[in-house]
A and B are shown apart, each in its own frame.
Chain A
Amino acid sequence: MAKLNCDHVIDYLNGTLSKEEQLEFEQHLKTCTDCQEIIEMTGDLPYLADPVDPPAGMKARILSTVFEEEAEQKKSEEVKREPAPLITQKAVKKKNRWPVLIAAALFVSLLGNGYALLKLSEQPETGGEMAFQSIDLQPNEVFGGTAKAAIIREEESLELVVQAEQLEALEGEQVYQIWLLKEGKPIPAGAFTPSANGEGNAYYSLEDNTEDWDTIAITLEPQAGNASPQGEIVLSSEI
């Protein structure tokens, strides 16, 4: 890549540089006083605005939205934070699917940890057949993140837990979107945004799973809720 220089300061301000270019420009910025001055100027320019009194109730509206979003995000994270003793002989009950999920989440988070594998292997089969599969997703050539997935199939249902690490931060309304594919046809299977330390988790469940999925993929979508992928695949694996 050509070395980024002063010519890119406007692109940097506009947020149009790629993540790599941005990092490269920030290296340039450390030593370039001209660019530092231009960036500094953006800390002053807004004061040219005429003061406008904020509308009544705006603070409450904004802060409650911000914290609500956080609560939504937390839900999936809490799954993996449940204490270990929940993996017990009684964990798998048909009516309550959460313990299965917790086991799956712990399984993913402790993959490679012999103790967890041992614990799980002691788990009895209960009722119908339960198939448990763990998957390491492979990043594309440029993506720095990693992800593991666990799929639990039981009779007609499928549950999917994904845990990702070292994720690149997102911009705007971007999300990491998970897809299950059969013969190239995807269905959305959960989405997540990374935490400050680049970790992300998602849980997805299909009550009536009739397909035999062959691939799992994670794309970087420009916004949540896409019915089919628009962004590029950053992580994927055969199932």
Chain B
Amino acid sequence: MEKSSDFVLYERVRNKDKEALEQLYDRYEKILFSFLVKMTEDRDLAEEALQEVFIKVWRGVGEYDESKGKFTSWLFTMSRNAAIDLIRKKKKPSVALEEAGELVSPASSVEETAEWQEKKEQIQLAVKDLSAEQQKMVQLFYFKGYTHEKISELCEVPLGTVKSRIRLALKKLKGTLHDMQERGDSPWRN
């Protein structure tokens, strides 16, 4: 249900329907905030990034349409870029690999929604299919927003190959996930 109705809601937001924006906010507040905290490791910065995102959505910056893929892909990408902007502006860039955290972290105590948990477990399984280097690259690129130069340095790969390696890692991840969904696997039944 949520896929099509996201777009309907977004269309209403484009027509300056405040209630629609609030619904969109409610729907994505927790995942976005959690995602932004994972990226920034700073709750204040995460809130600031989230505010930027909703200002942009409301103003119609970088307008969404279905040719750009899933609504969530668009929303998450915009959020990720808002976080990267703030990290680069406000935080000293960290250079040590240990500071970058892991792509998959140990189980948390806060309760997840069933949908979230299902997705997370599936993605975690798919992540296991990546090499250690690929996992590291996805973490540094996607969640930490590191520059290609820094990723090249930390992962000890030639700068010219960073983009294609990230691309291959993401593609492999999607392929594995896709196969799992095709087979109708539910991760906890494995």
Docked pose: A9 CA to B141 CA in angstroms: 13
Contact of B178 among A37, A46, A69, A70 (CB under 8 A): A37
Q: Is A118 an interface position by the 8 A CB rule?
A: no
Query: Which of chain A's residues have a CB closer than 8 A to the CB of B72?
Result: 43
B29–A54 CB distance below 8 A: yes
* Smallest beta-carbon distance A177→chain B, Å: 17
CA–CA, A66 and B16, complex, Å: 12
B33→A52 contact, CB < 8 A: yes
Please count how many residues in chain B sit with their CB below 8 Å of the partner chain's CB atoms.
Answer: 72
Within 8 A of B (CB), among A34-58: 34, 36-55, 58
B77 and A42 within 8 A (CB): yes
Q: Chain A residues near B173: list those with CB within 8 A.
A: 41
In the complex formed, the residue of B with least CB distance to A34 is: B171
Residues of chain A in range 17-38 having any CB-CB distance to chain B below 8 Å? 26, 29-30, 34, 36-38
Using known A-B contacts A40-B73, A52-B33, determine if residue A66 contacts B166 with beta carbons closer than 8 Å. Answer: no
Chain B interfacial positions (CB closer than 8 Å to A): 14, 16, 18, 21-22, 25-26, 29-35, 37-38, 43, 46-47, 50-51, 54-55, 58-63, 67-70, 72-73, 76-77, 79-81, 84-85, 103-105, 108, 110-113, 116, 119-120, 123-124, 127, 138, 141-143, 145, 163-164, 166-167, 170-171, 173-175, 177-178
Given A42-B80, A46-B35, 17 additional A-B pairs, CB 8 A = A14-B81, A26-B67, A42-B76, A43-B73, A44-B174, A47-B31, A48-B123, A48-B127, A51-B110, A52-B30, A52-B33, A54-B33, A58-B33, A62-B47, A67-B18, A169-B63, A196-B63
